[in-house]
Amino acid sequence: MITDQTMFSMLTKRRSRGTALDLSSKTKSFSQGVSTSSPSDFFVQCTSNSIQSPILRSLVSTSNLHVGLDTDAGALITTISPVCTGSGTDASSDGLIASVIVPSLIGLSIWLLFAVLRPQFRQFYALREWFVDQDRRPKPLSSSLFAFLHPPVPLVPSVPTDISDTGKSPAGDAALFPADEQLLQRVLWTALVIVLGWAFLGLAGALPLHMVSTSYVADFPNTAMFDGAFINEVEIIKGMTKEDIWWDVLQNERRPLDSVVLSCLLGLVVFLLAAGLTAAAGLALTTSPAVAHYLPFLAPLFVFISLAVALIEFSVHVRSSVSVSGTQLFLFQTMFYVLVGTAIWLIKVGVASGAIYMVILALSVVVTCAIIFPGLLLLQPTRLWNVLRAEKSAVTPRQRAAVHSRAYDPAFALGACILAIIFASTFSMIFPLVAPAIVILVFLSFVAHRFLTGGLLQIWLLRHFGKLFSLQPILLGLIFLSREFWIEGGVRCDTGIFVVIFVEIYVITKTRQPGRGSLSQITRDSLDAFRRTMRPTSAKRRTVDDESTSLVSSARVGHHPRGSMASVLEIVSVPLSIHCFILVAPRAHPDAPPHLPQLSFTDHVREMASILYAPELIAPPPIIWLPNDAADVARSEVFDLQKYHDLRVTLDVRSKNDILTPLQRSVKAADTNTLQFLILLRM
């Protein structure tokens, strides 16, 4: 009679003696009492007539676990070749608590903490404003505990289809074009719809098949926008304000060597990340197809992923964009490719049994992120701690106003959607139970973003959502190919490749920008003239104007700049000089006469980089001109401005009467009155 206790004691003795479990289904017989009729199967030869262990019966009936028992030797020889995950010894109540219940309780605690802290810090957890217009701003929330679940924000923001009235009025443009926050919310809504579709397909289609019959038997081992296109060498800065530009990057242009260094760093990060994740997951899942003893291998996975993300963020600054927004976009795109590529490598590196084993890892990761991640996105504990410390140290009103600056990065919210769509597109048909956790993850991320309510990033992400649809047929095709089902596997792999090609062709067709040929002849001539002015010839002599007599003209064009690149004043002076350059202003006026001489496009900027201090910084303070009046009000204003404000003020002189002193004016007025009196006497 073999009971559960006897079986586990024999397993414990075997493992304590250093005997490893044979995981290969082609292992030959190496123990008395076990014979093989084929290279892939072990048959049971038991001296006892019955097996009373329900666990052993379930393992034998559901998992291709073929046991050879010899009661005389007291040995247990096992070969595990599981059909589905969850049949190992770790898929018990303890493993369920470790992988599902504990992360859920932690996530719910974070959400409850946010609900308690939000009314206490209303300024910190305020709704983000979509528009500057007061009528379009969301209304403030009430102080109830769970009011953040229903903010006065549209659930699915609308996108206009008729844009014929563009540019007629700023108010009309604000109402016509959606904000970046609205586009991001539509992307999250699209991700939720995609995940719901995969969940319905998996639960309604694949789950009944798994319940009726177990498929995927692992009998064999693993064998397997406008971007300056009209003008060459012109880079459009992805930013909306002057504060969004990194002036040091703008002056120190990146060289091709920087691109080579960045490519080498990213390649090294990808290689180390793939090797580390494969080693951590492979070593943890070697002896157990379930959750690997309460998921201890999630710690090395987290360490490798964190190091990879930190190295990517450091490497991106080697060849950063001119603007902060462009750098964030490039960082997000790089992390998307690296993390998606390593996730696909980790899942598909062991196609047959390894891919099925990784389902439980995906389920654990999704359940862990589904509730905890959106709660942390709302709570923002690090930023809350920094704000509380900054409020205590703030002294001036300017410092207090700068404390509550928004630090919401949409890349974090989109990261959860990318993870969810990857797992939904990969495991919905293989392991349908992962679908509800994925739906919860995207839905709670959507709720968090709808409360936070934060273009280009969203459009780029929607383009790559279509590529992730190919993960499901490719994975199924690789599994079938590992089972030597060549026709079925080839059809599924070809379907996945066709999806990628179709999505790319469709997106390129829909988002292709018109070329230079779509412009009129007048516009093309204007672009040619503008390009010629951007690159003046060295032999061209500049015309003598007001600029040639300034301090700026002392720098010779074509020579190395004389200024110090370590000077902060020089970096700051460049945007000031561009905005304060008065010679460009008359030519930019729409009513400017056509006889004004044409200026070079790069002369002023190049010469401003050649000096240490801009003329705008060393120029004397301006003189304020006030119109003179008979009541001497202007003179009193001049006295006040010079005495109390240290400003140079002068009176506007238009006639001789304006330069007379008050006494002279009074004498002259008296003489005039006397003359008028004498004239009246004569009459």
The predicted-structure confidence for 282-306, as pLDDT tens digits, reads as follows 555 444 444 444 445 555 666 666 6
Q: Burial, 254: exposed, middle or buried (Cβ in 10 Å; 0-12, 13-18, 19+)? A: middle
Q: Burial, 244: exposed, middle or buried (Cβ in 10 Å; 0-12, 13-18, 19+)? A: middle
Write down the H helix ranges in 469-567.
471-482, 486-511, 521-534
When pLDDT is averaged across residues 120-137 and rounded to a whole number, the result is 58
For residue 42, give the amino acid letter: F
648: left (phi over 0), alpha (psi -120 to 50) or beta: beta
Domain boundary among 77, 106, 126: 77
The rounded radius of gyration (Å) of the Cα atoms in the chain is 37
What backbone phi and psi angles, to 5 degrees, belong to 141? -80, 160
Q: Which of 87 and 177 is assigned the larger pLDDT?
A: 177
| Co-location of 427 and 445 in the same domain | yes
Whole-angstrom Cα distance, residue 512 to residue 545?
45
- Residue 452 covered by a domain: yes
Number of structural domains (the chain) is 4
Whole-angstrom Cα distance, residue 358 to residue 343?
11
| Co-location of 364 and 507 in the same domain | yes
CB of 12 closer than 8 Å to CB of 5: no
Domain boundary among 618, 633, 654: 618
Q: How confident is the model at residue 516 (pLDDT cuts 50, 70, 90)?
A: confident
Whole-angstrom Cα distance, residue 569 to residue 140?
43
Q: Give bridge partners of residue 88 from the DSSP assignment.
A: none
Q: Is the dihedral of CA 321, 325, 328, 333 positive or negative?
A: negative
| Co-location of 212 and 97 in the same domain | yes
| Co-location of 614 and 628 in the same domain | no
Each residue's pLDDT tens digit, 154-173? 666 666 666 666 666 656 66
Q: Is the predicted pLDDT of residue 551 greater than 50, yes or no?
A: no
The distance in angstroms from the start CA to the end CA of the chain is 152
- Residue 262 covered by a domain: no
When pLDDT is averaged across residues 465-483 and rounded to a whole number, the result is 74
Whole-angstrom Cα distance, residue 683 to residue 680?
5
- Residue 114 covered by a domain: yes
Whole-angstrom Cα distance, residue 397 to residue 327?
31
Domain boundary among 564, 596, 618: 618
| Co-location of 555 and 670 in the same domain | no
| Co-location of 607 and 653 in the same domain | no
| Co-location of 629 and 507 in the same domain | no
- Residue 198 covered by a domain: yes
Q: Is the predicted pLDDT of residue 49 greater than 50, yes or no?
A: no
- Residue 426 covered by a domain: yes
Of the candidates 249, 192, 232, 195, the residue with the CA atom closest to the CA atom of residue 565 = 249
What backbone phi and psi angles, to 5 degrees, belong to 617? -90, -30
The per-residue pLDDT for 544 is 41
Contacts for 596-600: CB closer than 8 Å, 24+ residues apart: 597/543, 597/545, 598/533, 599/533, 600/533, 600/536, 600/542
Q: Which of 240 and 564 is assigned the larger pLDDT?
A: 240
Each residue's pLDDT tens digit, 431-445? 666 666 666 666 666
The per-residue pLDDT for 669 is 54
CB count within 10 Å of CB 266 equals 19
Q: Which of 525 and 137 is assigned the larger pLDDT?
A: 525
- Residue 485 covered by a domain: yes
Whole-angstrom Cα distance, residue 401 to residue 399?
5
Domain span at residue 598 reads 536-618
Q: How many CA atoms lie within 13 A of 654 on its CB side?
A: 7
Each residue's pLDDT tens digit, 480-495? 777 778 888 888 788 8
When pLDDT is averaged across residues 213-225 and rounded to a whole number, the result is 36
- Residue 461 covered by a domain: yes
| Co-location of 442 and 502 in the same domain | yes
Q: Is the predicted pLDDT of residue 64 greater than 70, yes or no?
A: no
Q: Give bridge partners of residue 290 from the DSSP assignment.
A: none
CB of 493 closer than 8 Å to CB of 478: yes
Q: Burial, 511: exposed, middle or buried (Cβ in 10 Å; 0-12, 13-18, 19+)? A: exposed
Whole-angstrom Cα distance, residue 228 to residue 235?
6
- Residue 588 covered by a domain: yes
Each residue's pLDDT tens digit, 229-286? 566 656 666 555 555 666 667 666 667 777 777 778 777 777 777 777 666 655 554 4
| Co-location of 612 and 630 in the same domain | no
| Co-location of 476 and 546 in the same domain | no
| Co-location of 392 and 481 in the same domain | yes
Query: Residue 189: in which H helix or E strand, if any?
Result: helix 180-201
The per-residue pLDDT for 543 is 45
When pLDDT is averaged across residues 492-512 and rounded to a whole number, the result is 79
DSSP letters, 395-461, are: -SHHHHHTTT-----HHHHHHHHHHHHHHHHHHTTT-TTHHHHHHHHHHHHHHHHHHH---HHHHHH
| Co-location of 459 and 363 in the same domain | yes
